[in-house]
Amino acid sequence: MDGVSLSVIIGAVSVAFFHTLLGPDHTLPFIMLARARGWSMSRTLVITFLCGLGHVAGSLLLGGLGIALGYGIGALESAEGGRGAWAAWALFAFGFAYMVWGIRLAWRRRSGLALHDHAGHVHVHGHGDQEHAHDGGSGSRTTFWVLFAIFVLGPCEPLIAFFMVPASKGNWTLAVTTAIAFTVCTLATMLGIVALGLAGYRRLRFGRLERWSEALAGATVALCGLAILFMGL
């Protein structure tokens, strides 16, 4: 491997790391929703991994299609920008809807009543202000699929250039190697931050405010969407 190729790969790894580290949408939704939904650490990391893989694969698929159809990097980056806006609005809409549902659920818990979904069977629990979370159920599956769809729709803009420039010159070995390095670094960073963040968040106890965990999770997800739209994060 020559020096130029090595520099490209190192550059891809560095960009992937900081792109993931500085993008709250890559990690915060999983941390907040895991706490609110009562997901185990292993379940949270699997969901994070699948969403991250879909996020990167979507851009790689678009890049490969662009090369096959003869589109330039500029055209694909423009398309990625459009996808990014749609994904950010979808993330905001999902977070806002989840927040509204969380507020409604918190008020039910305030009166000692809360609805719970066990594999499609909905019933009422009376448990005052105590935290009651379930790892699984149709609600968790729906949450995963919505998140997965949003992450597949959401672009991974830095990867396009790193993949397309060597691929357009016929250097498929470098293109594939760079894509793999970018993907591995992105996923490893997401998993590491989510694992550390969730472990720390679980140590916090909010007492009576625990019933607002779903509302807080939804608000955080919605803010992530707004941060992408208006701050370019």
Q: Residue 104 falls within a domain, yes or no?
A: yes
pLDDT grade for 74, boundaries at 50, 70 and 90: low
What pLDDT is stored for residue 127 in this prediction? 45
Domain count of the fold of the chain: 1
Q: Residue 10 falls within a domain, yes or no?
A: no
Q: Residue 90 falls within a domain, yes or no?
A: yes
Provide φ and ψ at 130, rounded to 5°.
-75, 145
Whether the pLDDT of residue 206 is over 60: the answer is yes
Query: For the ranges 26-35, 126-135, 180-189, 214-223, which has the lowest average pLDDT?
Result: 126-135
What pLDDT is stored for residue 161 in this prediction? 78
Q: 90-136: per-residue pLDDT in tens?
A: 999 999 999 999 999 888 876 554 445 444 443 444 444 444 444 55
What pLDDT is stored for residue 160 in this prediction? 80
Evaluate whether 60 touches 200 at the Cβ level (below 8 Å).
no
Supply the range of the domain harboring residue 178.
Answer: 23-110+146-203+211-231
What pLDDT is stored for residue 224 in this prediction? 93
Q: Residue 116 falls within a domain, yes or no?
A: no
pLDDT grade for 225, boundaries at 50, 70 and 90: very high
Q: Residue 131 falls within a domain, yes or no?
A: no
Average pLDDT of span 70-92 = 76
What pLDDT is stored for residue 168 in this prediction? 77
Measured CA to CA, the distance from residue 119 to residue 201 in angstroms comes to 27
**Whether this model's pTM surpasses 0.85:** no
The token pair that represents 219 in the structure block:
């608000």
What pLDDT is stored for residue 135 in this prediction? 53
Query: For the ranges 52-66, 104-118, 134-148, which has the lowest average pLDDT?
Result: 104-118
Evaluate whether 25 touches 91 at the Cβ level (below 8 Å).
yes
E-strand ranges in the chain read 114-118, 121-125
DSSP state of 22: T
Q: Which residue has better confidence, 135 or 218? A: 218
What pLDDT is stored for residue 121 in this prediction? 40
Q: Residue 85 falls within a domain, yes or no?
A: yes
Measured CA to CA, the distance from residue 60 to residue 68 in angstroms comes to 12
Whether the pLDDT of residue 40 is over 90: the answer is yes
Q: Residue 135 falls within a domain, yes or no?
A: no
Provide φ and ψ at 118, rounded to 5°.
-110, 100
Q: Residue 11 falls within a domain, yes or no?
A: no
